């Protein structure tokens, strides 16, 4: 175990534990005996109850107190002497927990997180709601702590439960961190506040007139409302031009954008855009003709709508499964386009009509929640919407099928996030949040059923939206912003963290107002000098339909929706879908 030097060296007693207190030099300097001992310790830990996993070149000091249920260390990550670990700790690569670090509860570290000595990450808290019960006897409320990539946490720092620390930030020695730390910030003090910016580009832009409150009303609401009204006016004036550039008169079909092939979704997006901005069907095509064509595309046997072939004719769906890419989304977009055209599917969705409650539960269980929550949410959205269309058509399905959807989802919502599924491998919440929107759009939102854990949803979304890799103005896309806007709108009645929600809505709304291209509409991805050559930044029908809907959601959260003069209809309708007795 001797890391080097003579046995007679007077410093030898101190060197015996050198790697325990300076573990970063272990694999470059330790002798074979020390390496074999460390490898034996890791084998012993991983051979016990499941939940322990170590990447290559990890080190765990025998002088640490390791009491975790889950301990997953990424490559070249170290735990030094005196560290006290409990709960669930997952790290990326090159993370170091220095001597006497305390990490307890549900904690996730990204790559290259270095934690100084005597620092505590405490991812749980005792409630104190009952003054007649001793605090230690009251329930524990864990929310978890998440730390991004390339974060330096100094010595004697305390990070409290529920905090997210953004990537490339620095927590100065002695800081007491009670709130989320923005990516790229340097924070310090008690309570911690932003002192400066390690990453200058991550600093917030100087407040504009609209954000400083110089306009009418709180926080410049008058100026923001004027900007919203201006976008609405331009979009209405240019709606015909936006639709016409995507229309092929020779085939009588819409494409998402010029030069792209026609798709089923493009026909539906054209109907949605026209209904929103013009109050009727696209002027390029007779409404009755469009309606009958969409109805004819539904396969009578399965109730599904296949993709278009090269000639613009629909292919017959390959099977009866809802989990079939574009065919799955067609249940949503074609059904709602037909509703906007005053009609509906001529046939029920057969595979859903025959589902017993046990089949519904099996369907929900087999979705890839832990690794691809967005995909799972996509297919749950399809299931819920198919059940809705069948009910509207007088085909109620098997007894208990709809109830099984809400029963399973309610029981399996994560108490910490209010959502379903696991984080991405890098700790990102992208899949979880995006999957939540799709899951709830077709179920809770569409059927008007209350969410099981709305306040946790707000916490999760507000944590997610601080990620500059996704929500800096030049990195936004319609999917990611919509998947934030809709959950915040759906939970607005709770009043929970309402001012923070309004601030986020105003910020994203101001960004969105600048994404419109005159005469062309919105691209799916926000335009930016660094991304202007990318295909998703080109304006098209999909981007226009999605951004128009999410602009309304954000404007309503910001208190300026009346200035838009429209309200989403069809697939992004904010209120529950009508039942048999309601008007579409």
Residues known to be catalytic: 126
> Residue 186 in 3-state DSSP?
strand
**Alpha carbon of residue 204 to chain centroid:** 22
Distance CA 288, CA 270 (A): 15
DSSP code for 288 = H
- Closest by Cα among 412, 492, 502 to 454: 492
* Residues contacting residue 233 through CB under 8 Å, at least 6 positions apart: none
Q: What are phi and psi of 491, to 5 degrees?
A: -100, 10
- Closest by Cα among 313, 402, 417 to 360: 402
Q: What are phi and psi of 126, to 5 degrees?
A: -85, 140
DSSP code for 246 = T
Distance CA 121, CA 573 (A): 42
Q: Can you give the three-state secondary structure of 83-113, one letter per residue?
A: CEEEEEEECCCCCEECCCCEEEEEEEECCCE
Q: Can you give the three-state secondary structure of 187-243, one letter per residue?
A: EECCCCEEEEECCHHHCCCCCCHHHHCCCCCHHHHHHHHHHHHHHHHHHHHHHHHHH
Distance CA 221, CA 238 (A): 26
- Closest by Cα among 483, 420, 484, 485 to 451: 420
User: Of all helices (H) and strands (E), which one includes residue 153?
Assistant: strand 151-153
Distance CA 400, CA 355 (A): 10
Strand-pairing partners, residue 152, are 114, 170
Q: How far apart are the first and last CA of the chain?
A: 77
C-alpha triplet 398, 437, 399: angle, nearest 5°: 10
> Residue 248 in 3-state DSSP?
strand
Alpha-carbon torsion 580, 582, 583, 584, what sign? Answer: negative
Cα distances (angstroms) measured from residue 478 to each of 162, 234, 254, 515, 547: 28, 19, 20, 10, 6
**Alpha carbon of residue 108 to chain centroid:** 17
Distance CA 388, CA 384 (A): 6
Cα distances (angstroms) measured from residue 5 to each of 2, 11, 102: 8, 9, 32
């Amino acid at each position: 175990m001797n890391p080097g030097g003579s046995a007679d060296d007077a410093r030898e007693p101190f060197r015996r534990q050198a790697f325990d207190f300076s573990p970063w030099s272990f694999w470059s300097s330790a002798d074979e005996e020390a390496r074999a001992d460390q490898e034996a310790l890791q084998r012993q830990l991983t051979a016990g109850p499941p939940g322990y996993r170590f990447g290559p070149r990890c080190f765990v000091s025998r002088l640490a107190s390791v009491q975790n249920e889950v301990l997953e260390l990424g490559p070249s990550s170290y735990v030094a002497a005196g560290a006290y670990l409990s709960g669930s700790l997952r790290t990326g690569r090159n993370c170091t927990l220095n001597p006497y670090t305390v990490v307890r509860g549900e904690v996730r570290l990204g790559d290259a997180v270095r934690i100084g000595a005597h620092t505590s990450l405490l991812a749980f808290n005792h409630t104190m709601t009952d003054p007649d019960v001793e605090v230690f006897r009251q329930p524990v409320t864990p929310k978890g702590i998440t730390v991004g990539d390339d974060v330096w946490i100094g010595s004697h720092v305390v990070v409290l439960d529920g905090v997210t620390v953004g990537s490339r930030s620095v927590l100065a020695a002695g800081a007491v961190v009670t709130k989320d730390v923005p990516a790229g910030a340097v924070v310090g003090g008690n309570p911690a506040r932003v002192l400066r910016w390690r990453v200058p580009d991550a600093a917030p832009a100087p407040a504009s007139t609209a954000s400083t409150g110089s306009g009418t009303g709180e926080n410049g609401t008058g100026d923001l409302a004027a900007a919203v009204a201006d976008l609405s006016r331009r979009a209405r004036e240019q709606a015909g031009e936006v639709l016409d550039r995507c229309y092929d008169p020779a085939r009588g079909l819409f494409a998402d954008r010029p030069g792209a092939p026609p798709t089923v979704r493009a026909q539906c997006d054209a109907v949605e855009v026209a209904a929103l901005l013009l109050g009727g069907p696209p002027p390029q095509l007779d409404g009755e003709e469009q309606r009958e064509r969409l109805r004819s595309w539904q396969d009578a046997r399965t109730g599904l709508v296949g993709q278009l072939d090269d000639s613009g004719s629909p292919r017959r769906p390959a099977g009866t499964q809802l989990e079939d890419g574009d065919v799955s989304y067609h249940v949503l977009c074609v059904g709602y386009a037909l509703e906007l055209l005053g009609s509906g599917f001529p046939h029920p969705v057969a595979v859903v009509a025959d589902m017993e409650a046990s089949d519904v539960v099996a369907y929900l269980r087999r979705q890839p929640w832990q690794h691809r929550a967005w995909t799972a949410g996509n297919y749950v959205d399809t299931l819920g919407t198919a059940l809705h269309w069948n009910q509207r058509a007088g085909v109620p399905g098997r007894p208990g099928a709809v109830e099984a959807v809400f029963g399973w989802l309610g029981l399996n919502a994560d108490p910490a996030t209010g959502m379903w599924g696991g984080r991405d491998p890098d700790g990102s919440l992208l899949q979880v949040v995006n999957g939540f929107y799709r899951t709830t759009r077709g179920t809770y939102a569409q059927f008007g059923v209350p969410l099981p854990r709305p306040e946790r949803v707000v916490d999760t979304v507000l944590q997610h939206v601080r990620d500059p890799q996704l929500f800096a103005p030049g990195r936004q896309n319609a999917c990611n912003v919509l998947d934030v806007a809709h959950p915040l709108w759906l939970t607005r009645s709770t009043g929970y963290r309402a001012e923070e929600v309004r601030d986020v809505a105003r910020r994203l709304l101001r960004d969105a107002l600048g994404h419109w291209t005159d005469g062309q509409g919105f691209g799916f991805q926000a335009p930016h000098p660094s991304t202007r050559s990318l295909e998703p930044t080109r304006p098209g029908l999909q981007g226009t339909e999605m951004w128009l809907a999410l602009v309304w959601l954000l404007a309503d959260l910001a208190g300026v929706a009346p200035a838009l003069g429209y309200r989403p209809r069809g697939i992004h309708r904010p209120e529950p879908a009508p039942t048999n007795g309601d008007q579409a």
